[in-house]
Structure 1
Amino acid sequence: MASKVIHAIYTDDDLLLQAVKQVREARYRIGEIYTPFPVHGLDKAMGLAPTRLAITAFLYGIVGLAVATAMMNYIMIEDWPMDIGGKPSFSFLQNMPSFVPIMFELTVFFAAHLMVFTFYMRSKLWPFKTAENPDVRTTDDHFLMEVEVANHNTEDLTEFLFNTGASEIKLIDNK
Structure 2
Amino acid sequence: MSNKVIHAIYNDDDVLLDAVKKTKAAHHHIEEVYTPFPVHGLDKAMGLASTRLAICAFLYGITGLIIYANLLNYVMILDWPQDIGGKPSFAFYQNMPAFVPVMFEGTVFFAAHLMVITFYMRSKLWPFKKAENPDVRTTDDHFLMEVGVHGNEEELVSFFQNTGAIEVKVIEK
TM-score range, shorter chain: over 0.9
1:95 positional shift: 0.4
Is 2:154 aligned against 1:161?
no
Q: Superposed, which structure 2 residues align to 1:14-163 within 5 Å?
A: 14-150=14-150, 152-163=151-162
Q: Deviations over 1:14-68 (max 9, x none)?
A: 1111110000000111001111111111111000111100000000000010111
Structure 2 runs not aligned, ≥5 long: none
What is the alpha-carbon distance in structure 2 between the residues aligned to residue 32 and residue 2 of structure 1?
17
Separation in 2, partners of 1:2, 1:54: 37
Name the CA distance, whole Å, in 1 between partners of 2:35 and 2:2.
Answer: 21
Measured in 1, the distance between the counterparts of 2:53 and 2:4 equals: 32
Structure 1 residue 115: Cα displacement: 0.3
The AA in structure 1 aligned to 2:4 is K
Provide the rounded CA distance (Å) in 1 between the counterparts of 2:99 and 2:115: 24
Q: Separation in 2 of the partners of 1:88 and 1:95?
A: 7
Q: When the two structures are superposed, what TM-score results if normalisation uses the length of structure 2?
A: 0.98
The answer to which of 1-10 and 49-58 deviates more is 1-10
Give 2:132's aligned amino acid: E
CA distance in 2, matches of 1:71, 1:166: 59
Q: Which structure 1 residue ranges, 5 or more long, are not aligned?
A: none
Provide TM-score, normalisation by structure 1. 0.97
| Alpha-carbon distance change, 74 to 2 in structure 1, aligned in 2, over 3 angstroms | farther
Identity %: 72
Residue 165 of structure 1 deviates from its aligned partner by: 0.7
Secondary structure of residue in 2 paired with 1:7 = strand
Shift of 1:136: 0.5
Aligned residue type for 1:4:
K
Residues of 1 paired with 2:102 and 2:13: CA distance?
44
Shift of 1:126: 1.1
List, as ranges, runs of 4+ consecutive aligned residues in structure 1 with deviation greater than 3 Å.
none
Instruction: Give the partner amino acid of 1:51.
Output: T
CA RMSD of aligned residues (A): 1.0
The alignment covers a number of residue pairs equal to 173
